[in-house]
Amino acid sequence: MESKNTPFKVGAFFAILILVVGISLTSGFVGSFLGNRFFPKLVSSDNGTVTEITRQKVVDEENATIDVVKQVSPSVVSIVIKKTGFDFFTGPYSQEQGIGTGFIIDKDGIILTNRHVVSDTSADYIVVVNQQNYDVKKIFRDTAHDVAILKIDVSNLTPVELGDSSQLQIGQKVIAIGYALGEFPNTVTTGVVSGLGRSVTASSGTLGTSEVLDNVIQTDAALNPGNSGGPLLDYSGKVIGINVAITSGAQNIGFAIPVSSIKPVVEDFQKYGKIIRAYLGIEYISVSKELAQARNLHEGAFISKVVADSPADKAGIQGSDILYEFGGQAVDDTNTLTKLIGEKKPDDEVKIKIWRNGKTSEVTATLGEAPEE
């Protein structure tokens, strides 16, 4: 059987070829148009667009940091302790040592810092403002909040603006400025808010004292000895915390007192010219749960001294009593008696539960106003 080969026509071949090419060109044009019209960022020939956006963000953040530092640095001061003594060979001497940081809150020479920075009541202090030294004329200390207000004789200073720490968010960027290591004034570090509402026990290696700090801000901005009392700032240049402590043996963990808890202290000072604090009139030693169990005592505050004619004395509190409840709150390692008193105001009436010789009782005290240190 003979097979038939149908001749292929050249004209038909070219017609098909032209049709295929036309469809391809049309599809390419339409795809390109739609891609650029609706998905412009996905058809970039390289990563130039993404890289440029990232670079711009870095530049914007750097510029914001620089702007805040320029704005606030004139308001940040170094605090120096001036020690005097007598050397057998050289005679009397005076030694100055940088110990901390502060910041201006009023143009007429009012400085805010930590109380523990200026805790030595027998020492003299100097505040360095823009490389000028000024003797501290008066110190007002608030033991409940680890805050001190210093007065120097100078005017026309540039005060900071206090922000609102209650609006802070974890992950928010912050800036710290301080007298790092007591040697390098206005050292700038940056980081983020890495935790809120922390409770830490801060100790002083030089003084051998410790205290519980509640509701503090945790940050990974590098803080060093000497940063204490300096400002923690948001990116609008407002103070949102007072740098107070670092964690030994760990990196990138520092703490700051939220400024919103300090504002009432500042407002009282601006109104009355002094720090207004409630006063009970006792000295005490904390009795931990472990110590109480070991010594068959009650957890709380062991009263080592009652000031004569003080609110505690008038309420019938005696030495060797253990105060275990104050104003309806348990006195323990977290709720220290100092903290609980600091939350009250003069003239407040407070019910206090005490443990005496194995028996419990309740008294009522009317708090007074704490004398100046």
- Is there a single domain that holds both residue 132 and residue 178? no
Q: Are 235 and 228 in contact (CB under 8 A)?
A: no
pTM listed for this prediction: 0.73
- Is there a single domain that holds both residue 266 and residue 283? no
Residue 21 lies in a domain: no
Residue 321 lies in a domain: yes
Supply 361's token pair: 């009782």
- Is there a single domain that holds both residue 176 and residue 129? no
Domains in the chain, number: 3
DSSP 162: B
Among the listed residues 194, 228, 261, 310, the single catalytic one is 228
Q: How far, rounded to the nearest angstrom, does the alpha carbon of residue 368 sit from its chain's CA centroid?
A: 30
C-alpha dihedral (257, 259, 263, 265), degrees to nearest 10: 20
Supply 298's token pair: 């009650």
Q: What is the CATH number of the domain that holds 216?
A: 2.40.10.10
Q: Which residues of 11-32 are buried (b: 16+ CB within 10 A; e: fewer)?
A: eeeeeeeeeeeeeeeeeeeeee
- Is there a single domain that holds both residue 187 and residue 264? yes
- Is there a single domain that holds both residue 243 and residue 189? yes
- Is there a single domain that holds both residue 205 and residue 252? yes
- Non-local (6+) Cβ contacts of 42 within 8 A are 35
pLDDT of residue 30: 47
For residue 92, the one-letter residue type is P
DSSP 357: T
Domain end point (choices 270, 290, 322): 270
pLDDT of residue 198: 87
> How does pLDDT run across 246-264, given as a tens digit for each residue?
766 667 789 999 999 999 9
Domain end point (choices 150, 181, 200): 150
Supply 335's token pair: 């709720």
Query: In angstroms, what CA-CA distances link 251 with 219, 222, 246?
Result: 11, 8, 9
| H-run or E-run covering 302 | strand 300-306
116 an active-site residue? yes
| H-run or E-run covering 199 | strand 184-204
Residue 203 lies in a domain: yes
228 an active-site residue? yes
- Is there a single domain that holds both residue 240 and residue 289? no
Residue 109 lies in a domain: yes
pLDDT of residue 328: 96
> How does pLDDT run across 53-109, given as a tens digit for each residue?
776 676 788 899 999 999 999 999 999 998 887 787 888 877 788 899 999 999 999
Residue 156 lies in a domain: no
- Is there a single domain that holds both residue 308 and residue 360? yes
For residue 208, the one-letter residue type is G
In the Cβ-directed half-sphere of 294, how many Cα atoms lie within 13 Å?
5
Domain end point (choices 270, 295, 315): 270
Among the listed residues 142, 146, 321, 332, the single catalytic one is 146
Residue listed under structure tokens 């059987």: 1
Closest residue by Cα to residue 261 from 162, 153, 119: 162
- Is there a single domain that holds both residue 256 and residue 203? yes
- Is there a single domain that holds both residue 242 and residue 286? no
Residue 10 lies in a domain: no
**Residues spanned by the domain of 334:** 276-367
- Non-local (6+) Cβ contacts of 247 within 8 A are 200, 253, 254, 255
pLDDT tens track, the chain, 373 positions: 444 444 444 344 344 444 444 444 444 544 554 444 444 444 444 556 666 677 667 678 889 999 999 999 999 999 999 888 778 788 887 778 889 999 999 999 999 999 999 999 889 999 999 999 999 999 999 877 889 999 999 999 999 999 999 999 999 999 999 998 888 889 999 999 999 988 777 655 444 455 677 789 999 999 988 899 999 999 999 999 999 977 666 677 899 999 999 999 999 999 999 999 999 999 999 899 999 999 999 999 999 999 999 999 999 999 999 999 999 999 998 788 988 998 899 999 999 999 999 999 999 999 999 887 6
Residue listed under structure tokens 């001036």: 82
pLDDT of residue 71: 96
The total of other beta-carbon atoms located within 10 Å of residue 252's CB is 15
In the Cβ-directed half-sphere of 9, how many Cα atoms lie within 13 Å?
4
Q: Which residues of 304-335 are buried (b: 16+ CB within 10 A; e: fewer)?
A: eebeeebbbbebebeeebbbbbbbeeebbeeb
Residue 296 lies in a domain: yes
Residue 198 lies in a domain: yes
Among the listed residues 116, 145, 165, 234, the single catalytic one is 116
DSSP 119: -
DSSP 367: -
pLDDT of residue 250: 62
Dihedrals phi, psi of 141, to nearest 5 degrees: -110, 140
Q: How far, rounded to the nearest angstrom, does the alpha carbon of residue 59 sit from its chain's CA centroid?
A: 26
- Is there a single domain that holds both residue 325 and residue 235? no
Q: Are 180 and 246 in contact (CB under 8 A)?
A: no
- Non-local (6+) Cβ contacts of 39 within 8 A are none
Q: How many angstroms separate the CA atoms of 282 and 363, rounded? A: 15
32 an active-site residue? no
- Is there a single domain that holds both residue 75 and residue 117? yes
